[in-house]
Amino acid sequence: MDVALTYDLRQLYLEQGYSEEETAEFESAETIKAISTALHELGFTPIHVGNISQLVKRLASGERWDFVFSIAEGMHGFGREAQVPCVLDAFQIPYTFSDPLALTVTLHKATAKRLLRDLGIPTPDFEVIETSADWAEIELEYPLFVKPIAEGTSKGITSASRVCTPYELENVCDLLLEKFRQAVLVEEFLPGREFTIGIAGTGANARVLGVMEILLGPEAESLVYSYVNKAKYEELVRYRLVRDETAIEAADIALAAWRALGCCDAGRIDLRCDRLGKVQLLEVNALPGLHPIRSDLCILCKLAGIPYLGLIDNIMCSAIERSQSARGAPEPAYMSKHDSGGWDPRIR
């Protein structure tokens, strides 16, 4: 099976003049090599394509593939993560990870939170700032947490993201509105434990890979898993796999949200505890980073005893099964060769 790889290579954008932070979500050559190597070891034929512009050119020339392993993040707009899947849907080429709807909804944090809240999934109270005047209408209880409405990799998040006064709120909102040219999400700050949860599979077949607690070191920017803390995680952050009752509650919430939003194949969900110790959902990442060493999902899998090859194997198995089901194929074309990990069997 020929499997094309679509991705945004970070170095390409840096050479075009984009900044380190603007390209923080994009892929390194190491990530592309790791995915390609894993696909080859699993018996696929990987074909490097690149970003959406390169994809469109190759499709226009008549090139086609059996499958696409797509981790392209896109550069512009709330639908940027959905751009490559939309093109592939138009050409009826199956691909990994979620469809355009789920990718767009989960990228826009306020839209995702509205849907989750309507479904009874706990998430912090929030409001959206569209203009510099909107902050004065906020009626949430301080302290608050402020971040861009549609960014990943903790972009726009610093120690100043936790605000305790209207003056701080105004300053941070103005800064983010100007810098990111998008709305700002303001939500009640949760002071408790922070978790990220790995999910593999789709729908009823989705399962928890593990619950990882994020512990900030003494030298880290305090109270928040910020852009700097994430970038310098080896020095500033400690991760541990947890299985206590709070972790089980977090896993249940994460799995319910994953299924409710229609996410596919693999991803990561961030949660945190409020002042009473109750778990609430912060964000759903339906297009996770896959650097074999630095990405949170891969760190979690390593702690859970899941090799990188096993993670890629499970992603492909889920994606191919979805594709076959959509076509009404009677027999599986590909079976996973790896165990998905040893998470608590009580979690389904």
With CA atoms as reference, report the closest residue to 316 among 88, 82, 2, 26: 2
What are the residues facing 188 on neighbouring strands?
144
* pLDDT number for residue 283: 96
pLDDT for the residue 345: 40
What are the structural domains of the chain? 2-95 (3.40.50.20), 125-188 (3.30.1490.20), 194-327 (3.30.470.20)
Of 187, 188, 160, 190, nearest to 174 by C-alpha is 160
Query: 319 near 332, Cβ under 8 Å?
Result: no
CA dihedral 246, 149, 207, 214 (to 10 degrees): -40
- CB-based burial of residue 240 (10 Å sphere; 0-12 exposed, 13-18 middle, 19+ buried)? exposed
pLDDT score of 337 = 65
- Residue 111: exposure state from Cβ atoms within 10 A (0-12, 13-18, ≥19): middle
Q: Quick count: other Cβ atoms within 10 Å of Cβ 292?
A: 21
State how far the alpha carbon of 162 is from the alpha carbons of 82, 142, 193, 271, in Å.
30, 9, 16, 16
pLDDT of residue 347: 41
pLDDT at position 179: 93
The pair of structure tokens assigned to 194 is: 């922070």
* pTM over cut 0.85: yes
Output the CA angle 348-150-159, nearest 5 degrees.
90
pLDDT per 10-residue tile (average), the chain, 348 residues: 96 92 91 98 97 98 98 94 98 98 97 96 97 92 96 87 96 95 96 97 97 94 87 92 97 98 98 97 97 96 97 97 82 60 47
Q: Give the integer Cα–Cα distance in Å for 85 and 94.
A: 9
The pLDDT value recorded for residue 340 is 52
* Token duo for residue 49: 């394509």
In angstroms, the CA 259 to CA 159 distance is 32
CA distance 109 to 150: 6
Using an 8 Å Cβ cutoff, are 261 and 107 in contact?
Answer: no
Q: Which residues pair with 46 in a beta bridge?
A: 3
Give residue for tokens 């009580």.
Answer: 346
Number of helices (H) and strands (E) in the chain: give both, helices first: 12, 12
Q: Is residue 326 a contact partner of residue 233, using CB atoms and an 8 Å limit? A: no
